[in-house]
Amino acid sequence: MTAIRRQRNVKIVATLGPSSDSYEMIRDLFVAGADVFRLNMSHGTQEDIALRHQMIRKVEAELGRPIGILADLQGPKLRCGAFANGPLTLVEGQSFRFDLDPAEGDETRVCLPHPEIFQALEVGSTLLVNDGKIRVRVTECSPDHAMTEVVVGGEISNRKGVNVPDVVLPLAALSEKDRKDLEFACNLGIDWLALSFVQRASDVYEARELADGRAAILSKIEKPAAVNAFQEILDASDGIMVARGDLGVELPVHRVPPIQKRLTRACRMVGKPVIVATQMLESMITSPVPTRAEVSDVATAIYEGADAVMLSAESAAGEYPIEAVAMMNNVAESVESDTTFRPVIEAQRTVGRSGVSDAITVAAREVAETTKVKAICCFSHSGTTALLAARERPRVPIIALTPKVDTARRLALSWGLHCVVVPEVDRFKLAVVNAARVAREHGFASLDDRIVVTAGIPFGVAGSTNILRVATANERAIYEGGGED
């Protein structure tokens, strides 16, 4: 079977759920364009998650392409209690009390069983209920209750979600459920852990310690506190998700687009993958075609240079999961073939980096773009060399070669990387031979074409990219050509 090769650089993340819960569907989603599958730990049992993981790995083995798996932890969920007489409507100007009393609520009060919230609230703080449809302002607070004034009214009912946008809550990003799910997911062999409701860098370090190298850590930016502490969170993380759902609840929605652009650019500067997520093709949950605005939204993320765009309910619970993936793939191919795409991407390229690894990577891009080179081939154990190449957003394809299947799977999330597992080598010449063979077998080059090969010598030392070679895509010629090993 011919190796699957994407005709685009941006990656597609597809969430699995009831609509995509079979081997055949997962296989079809991958063929349609999904590069990474998201397992949402908020929905389904651990047995469900394990079965989906098993099916993904079966598809991977059948099609011979590394597939990334992202486990998305639920995070702390803040919800109010129940009401004695069902839903009721809060009106503007009304006083309403939240407290720790477990008794059922009425038109004057309801239980909010989270003492951490009351510890952090101040007079003037805002509470958002039911995805921000209700907004109240704190007028009085104590360790066990808060009196509020309704600013924006609406219907409130049993166990609706509560957001606290303007204070940093004394909550760990990992609940007890999250800790159990983290251990379970890491033992399964997932590649990425997504942390929900991150507020500070220490939340990331806690998860990293628990993961203990078994998965890369991706922080979801969905709270104002995370936006304010973004640089520290980025430094602590392996990747970022701009989770626009809760971010658009806790912040005015008109602030989300510039935040998305700023966060995406910051990730590009340091070469860490960034996913743009939430409501990208929302209408395709029930419609076989998206709205024009949704298509433009996906296109904007691609023009910004995001590493990946993500489908949530569209592929997990929607009526047209394959069509949604195919649509995202088509939008990506159309955008990246547009004559304005390269100037936009290259205008955002960062300058002023220093170090041997940076210099080799920049040189590889410049050689590839100023000569007739068909591909940049990065030989990498840890993935660092390939990530540096992706950061440059070159005009030619990038082939990431690694002897470690877990590295190949993790790199499947990063922009432009065509990941291939190759045999372990101990000499650079053998790495070049492998690169030439893979470039031809996967349709990137013919025998007479040239490729650029980068690597770090000695092999296996992360961040040591220090060698570059221009070679023909002909392994016999490389063998017979002699030269430095």
CA 23 to chain CA centroid, nearest Å: 23
Mean pLDDT on 28-39: 98
SS3 68: strand
Active site residue 395: no
Q: Which of 264, 278, 385, 465 is catalytic?
A: 278
Q: What is the reported pTM?
A: 0.93
Residue 348 placed within a domain: no
400, two tokens: 């990431």
Strand 11-16, strand 36-40: pairing:
parallel
Residue 108 placed within a domain: yes
Q: Percent of the chain at pLDDT above 70?
A: 97
Instruction: For residue range 16-25, list pLDDT tens digits in order.
Output: 999 999 999 9
Number of independent structural domains in the chain:
3
For position 105, which CATH number holds?
A: 2.40.33.10
CA atoms within 13 A on the CB side of 301: 33
Do 65 and 134 lie in a common domain?
A: no
Residue 4 placed within a domain: no
Do 199 and 310 lie in a common domain?
A: yes
Q: Which of 79, 97, 137, 349 is catalytic?
A: 79
Q: Which of 8, 208, 220, 410 is catalytic?
A: 220
Distances (CA, A) of 118 to 100, 209, 296, 382: 9, 29, 41, 44
- Report d(CA 309, CA 329) in Å as an integer: 10
pLDDT surpasses 80 at 400: yes
Rg of the chain over all Cα atoms, to the nearest angstrom: 24
Do 147 and 199 lie in a common domain?
A: no
Confidence of residue 158 (pLDDT cuts 50, 70, 90): very high
Do 306 and 246 lie in a common domain?
A: yes
pLDDT for residue 481: 66
- Report d(CA 189, CA 183) in Å as an integer: 10
pLDDT for residue 474: 86
Confidence of residue 171 (pLDDT cuts 50, 70, 90): confident
Mean pLDDT on 414-432: 94
Q: Which of 38, 109, 365, 450 is catalytic?
A: 38
- Report d(CA 272, CA 261) in Å as an integer: 15
Do 114 and 34 lie in a common domain?
A: no
pLDDT surpasses 60 at 44: yes
Residue 168 placed within a domain: no
pLDDT for residue 355: 86
From 163, 184, 206, give the residue that closes a domain: 163
From 139, 163, 187, give the residue that closes a domain: 163
Residue 347 placed within a domain: no
Do 370 and 272 lie in a common domain?
A: no
pLDDT for residue 3: 66
- Report d(CA 260, CA 202) in Å as an integer: 22
DSSP string, 104-131: PB-SSEEE---HHHHHH--TT-EEEETT
Do 154 and 177 lie in a common domain?
A: no
Distances (CA, A) of 354 to 123, 340, 360, 362, 464: 48, 29, 10, 10, 13
466: containing domain: 356-481
Average pLDDT, the chain: 94
Residue 389 placed within a domain: yes
Active site residue 286: no
Instruction: For residue range 174-192, list pLDDT tens digits in order.
Output: 999 999 999 999 999 999 9
**CB neighbour list of residue 45: distance below 8 Å, 6 or more residues apart:** none
- Report d(CA 431, CA 379) in Å as an integer: 7
pLDDT surpasses 80 at 340: yes
Active site residue 139: no
For position 399, which CATH number holds?
A: 3.40.1380.20
Sign (positive/negative) of CA torsion 59, 62, 63, 65?
Answer: positive
pLDDT surpasses 70 at 358: yes
Do 159 and 192 lie in a common domain?
A: no
Do 122 and 224 lie in a common domain?
A: no
From 115, 131, 163, give the residue that closes a domain: 163
Do 332 and 222 lie in a common domain?
A: yes
Residue 127 placed within a domain: yes
Q: Percent of the chain at pLDDT above 90?
A: 87
- Report d(CA 142, CA 121) in Å as an integer: 8
Higher pLDDT, 475 or 57: 57
Mean pLDDT on 157-161: 94
Letter for the amino acid at 483? G
Confidence of residue 377 (pLDDT cuts 50, 70, 90): very high
Distances (CA, A) of 367 to 7, 330, 353, 373: 22, 30, 18, 8
Do 153 and 266 lie in a common domain?
A: no
pLDDT for residue 221: 97
pLDDT for residue 1: 42
Mean pLDDT on 211-221: 98
For position 35, which CATH number holds?
A: 3.20.20.60
Residue 350 placed within a domain: no
Active site residue 220: yes
pLDDT for residue 261: 96
Do 35 and 99 lie in a common domain?
A: no
Which of these ranges, 65-79, 354-368, 451-465, has the smallest mean pLDDT?
451-465
